[in-house]
Amino acid sequence: MTKIVILTGAGISAESGLGTFRDVGGLWTRYDLSEVATPEGFARDPALVHEFYNARRKNAAEAIPNAAHAALARLERAMPGAVRIVTQNIDDLHERAGSRAVWHMHGQVGRARCAACGETWAAPMVMRPDDPCPACRAPATRPDIVWFGEFPYHMDEIWEVLRAADLFVAIGTSGSVYPAAAFVQDAARAGVRTLELNLEPSETVNDFDEARHGPASEIVPAWVEELLGG
């Protein structure tokens, strides 16, 4: 029975060197989101989109999990079966830090998907538009990423565990993209306690029962230490 549901965003990976999206210098200040993170952009220029995610995949492979990722893995080990991470991140830093109960609602940059038959597989480091699908052979491969306007993965499971939890924690997310940005309100309506751990107040900070601000590598381990009784 999941007791703690933890939503993470780009901010938890920032100190591992992976850029966020809307901070100063964030990805959406350097790339046009509509060109590289929408189905329309992929239809227009698949090579550009693969180039963008090839760079994301390389960066993610070279990144190292930080103390915040390690603290969440420690929490899961200390509370077997009671912790669920729902991440908006497409990197695998939670898994590489040791977390097992992780759902990637925006997909994973390390996986590929066939735009023709829907098959998914582990992506090579460099993907090209006409790479053949291993199942149907169609030259229609895309990154297994959920783009703007597409529906996230795991939503039914997420709503279920969120409403039955004791605590909902949001870490390193600006609260600017839905449906993740509405999780705190849904949790609160179900009587779940809510906590924001972020570098600075998010757009939804006022919806949380409690908020602590600072670098994730500091405030997440401190929160886990406190929760586990030192």
178 scored as a contact of ligand NAD (CB under 6 A): yes
Of 36 and 73, CB closest to ligand NAD: 36
Q: How far apart are CA 127 and CA 142, in angstroms?
A: 8
103 scored as a contact of ligand NAD (CB under 6 A): no
Give yes or no for a contact between 67 and 116, defined as CB atoms under 8 angstroms apart: no
Q: Indicate the burial class of 31 (C-beta count within 10 angstroms; 0-12, 13-18, 19 or more).
A: middle
Kindly report the backbone phi and psi dihedral angles of residue 196, in degrees, each rounded to the nearest multiple of 5, phi listed first: -105, 130
Give the burial string for 105-123 (b: 16+ CB within 10 Å, else e): bbbbbbbbbbbeeeeeeeb
176 scored as a contact of ligand APR (CB under 6 A): yes
222 scored as a contact of ligand APR (CB under 6 A): no
Stretch that binds ligand APR, among 6-14, 42-50, 71-79, 127-135 (CB under 6 A): 6-14
Q: Which of 62, 61, 56, 68 is nearest to 15 (CA)?
A: 68
Residues 75, 151, 189, 169: what is their CA dihedral angle, to the nearest 10 degrees?
Answer: 20
40 scored as a contact of ligand NAD (CB under 6 A): no
213 is annotated as an active-site residue: no
Give yes or no for a contact between 107 and 151, defined as CB atoms under 8 angstroms apart: no
Q: How far is the CB of 125 from ligand APR (least distance, A)?
A: 21
17 binds, among ligand APR, ligand NAD, none (CB under 5 to 8 A by kind): none
23 scored as a contact of ligand APR (CB under 6 A): yes
Stretch that binds ligand APR, among 14-22, 41-49, 77-85, 91-99 (CB under 6 A): 14-22
**Placement of tokens 């990423």 in the chain:** 145
List binders of ligand NAD among 10-39 (CB under 6 A).
28, 33-34, 37
**Mask for 88-127, x = binds ligand APR (CB under 6 A):** x-----------------x---------------------
Residue by residue, DSSP assigns 149-193 as: TSPPTTHHHHHHHHHH-SEEEEES--S-STTGGGHHHHHHHTT-E
Q: CB-based contacts of 46: which residues, under 8 Å, 6+ apart?
A: 129, 142
**Mask for 136-175, x = binds ligand NAD (CB under 6 A):** ---------xxxxxxxx-----------------------
3-state secondary structure of 107: strand
List binders of ligand APR among 25-44 (CB under 6 A).
26
Residues labelled catalytic:
106
Footprint on this chain of ligand APR (rule: CB under 6 A): 9-11, 14-15, 20-23, 26, 88, 106, 172-174, 176-177, 198-200, 202, 215-216
